Each structure stands twice: as structure tokens, then as C-alpha cells.
Structure 1
Amino acid sequence: MNNDFKIYPMDESSIKSILNISELSFPISWSLDSLQSELDNKFAKYVVLKKGNTIVGYGGMWVIIDEAHVTNIAVHPEARGIGAGNIIVEALFRICRKHKVTAITLEVRSSNFIAINLYEKYGFEQEGLRRHYYEDNGEDAVIMWNRNL
């Protein structure tokens, strides 16, 4: 891992930076209220990735019994292509192991080949499609699972 990067749990002080990254990364961003409500969600596990003192990415999931569902992973556009996504996925996997999670799932836009390749690198396999899942353009979501944590 690049020594410039550090993972921290999401907290109230990181919400505005996360919202900014979300707005830069997704056609339909989570709202400030939605992100803040995750702080009180007993199933939610979120991490932020800092380079120095700056939040450059984040990832979150819900852990329910022995499965996890990734809610979102995003990296600031200026920090993409340098392994930040890998660090976030690895941090989520560490949390999964700590909580005895045996399988993890997510949805990803069918056109997001960079993310699909990242997830496949970490053992996710495409298992289905949610047709017209994304409200902004009706794009399909690829359902991916890693059942070998």
C-alpha cells in the first residue's frame, strides 16, 4: 500500500467531503441526509481514504448476518488511476473478515468497465442483470458477487 494513503472510519467530519466525491462520481449522488443517516445505520460500515489530510475516496457497505452489500465506492477524479480503489476494496474486505462475512455483492453500471475490472480482480463474478436499474438513463446494473471471502 502506498504510504501516503490511510484508511479511516467514516465520521461526521468526513460527510461533506464524501458528498463532494459522490457528486463528482455519480450521475445521481446520495444526498447529504442519506449519507448522514448511514452514521446511525447499525448495518452500515463505511471507510474514507485519505492522502495526507485530504479525503480522496470512500467506500461503504451494509453487513447483515454473514453477507455484505456494497452501497458505494468512489474515488475523487483527481485521485483515480493510482490504486485508491484497490485500497478501499481491501479495507472493506478486512471489515468483512472481522464480521465473519462469507459473501459480498454489489451492483455496477454495465458501462463502468473500470469498476467491473476492479471488482473481478477481487474475485467478484457477474451473476445477473437488473434491467433499467439507473434512473438517470435507464442503464442496466450488473449484479456481482464474491462468495469466497
Structure 2
Amino acid sequence: MNNVEICTLKAIHIDEISKINSLSFHTPWSKEAIYKELDNKFARYVVAIMDGKVIGYGGVWIIVDEGHITNIAVHPEYRGIGAGDMIVDSIIEICRLEDVEAVTLEVRESNIPARRLYEKHGFIAEAIRKGYYQDTKEDAIIMWNRHI
């Protein structure tokens, strides 16, 4: 797929990830919060790199036998080229390698492109968290993939 490669998140990627965050989320994580994930023993993060530039990233927390996807984002200029699929595939593979039995996430009800991405990778909407997002009070759809 083009010349996109997936690799493990390193500190040198955080400035670019911070920019992608601010372009992608209503309430982006701070740069400091992202740095803290490097020391989080439960966190596994990957970045998508194209021509030496970080174009996307994703993360999962693995706790016992469950994975919880924290964030997945692709820079707006690079959406639609398959980087999101590669990130999700990488996260699922990490979960398989660490004997995770199921992966969950929350996604804004209005974020149809993200919901379609997750559905394409076996996630199913199973519940709603009413008013989950503090900034807009929007509901979150809780999705699970129980077939890792």
C-alpha cells in the first residue's frame, strides 16, 4: 500500500502526533499526556509513516486479556489511502500476540467514518454511553471485537 510503514511510537514522533491530534479531535490529548503513554506499561502505540512523515497513529491499552483502543487518527491530508486500516490491523495483531481475547473502544456517535473503519475490522456496536464526551455531551458508541 503506497509506501506507508507502521512502526512503534517513539518520543521523536510526538510533535507530529500532537499536530494530528489537534486536527482530528474535538478535545485532543495534550503533548504531555502523549509523552506519558511512552511510560504506561499497559500502552502499545504505533505510527504510520509515509516518506519520512508521521501521517497517523493508534494506541491500545492491554489489561489482562482485554484491549482498549485509546485513539486512532490519520492526518486529514492522508485520509482515504488505507493508513487507518493499517493502524487498526497493527493494533489487532499486537493484541493477538499478547493473547488478548477482545478489544473495545468508544467512538462518537456522529463519527461515521471511524465507525465504518471499525466495523470493517470486526467491531460491533454493543452499547451507548450517554453524554460521554464532555465537550459536546455527545453519546459514545461502545464497540467490541470479540474475535481477535
Q: TM-score of the superposition, structure 2-length normalised?
A: 0.98
Q: Which residue of 2 aligns with 1:117?
A: 116
Instruction: Among all aligned residue pairs of Structure 1 and Structure 2, give the percentage whose two residues are the same amino acid.
Output: 52
Q: Which residue of 2 aligns with 1:35?
A: 34
SS in 2 for 1:117: helix
Q: Which residue of 2 aligns with 1:61?
A: 60
Q: Which residue of 1 aligns with 2:6?
A: 7
Shift of 1:77: 0.3
Aligned pairs for 1:1-149 (under 5 A) are 2-149=1-148
Partners in 2 of 1:99 and 1:3 — Cα distance?
A: 28
Gaps of 5+ in 1: none
Shift of 1:136: 1.4
Partners in 1 of 2:2 and 2:72 — Cα distance?
A: 21
Partners in 2 of 1:24 and 1:81 — Cα distance?
A: 16
User: How many residue pairs get matched?
Assistant: 148
Partners in 1 of 2:109 and 2:2 — Cα distance?
A: 33
Q: Deviations over 1:87-119 (max 9, x none)?
A: 000010110111011100000000011110111
Q: TM-score of the superposition, structure 1-length normalised?
A: 0.98
Shift of 1:139: 0.5
Q: Which amino acid aligns with 1:58?
A: Y
Tell me how large the CA RMSD over aligned residues is: 0.6
Deviation >3 Å, runs of 4+: none
Q: Deviations over 1:102-149 (max 9, x none)?
A: 100000000011110111111101110011111111110000000111
Q: Which amino acid aligns with 2:50?
A: K
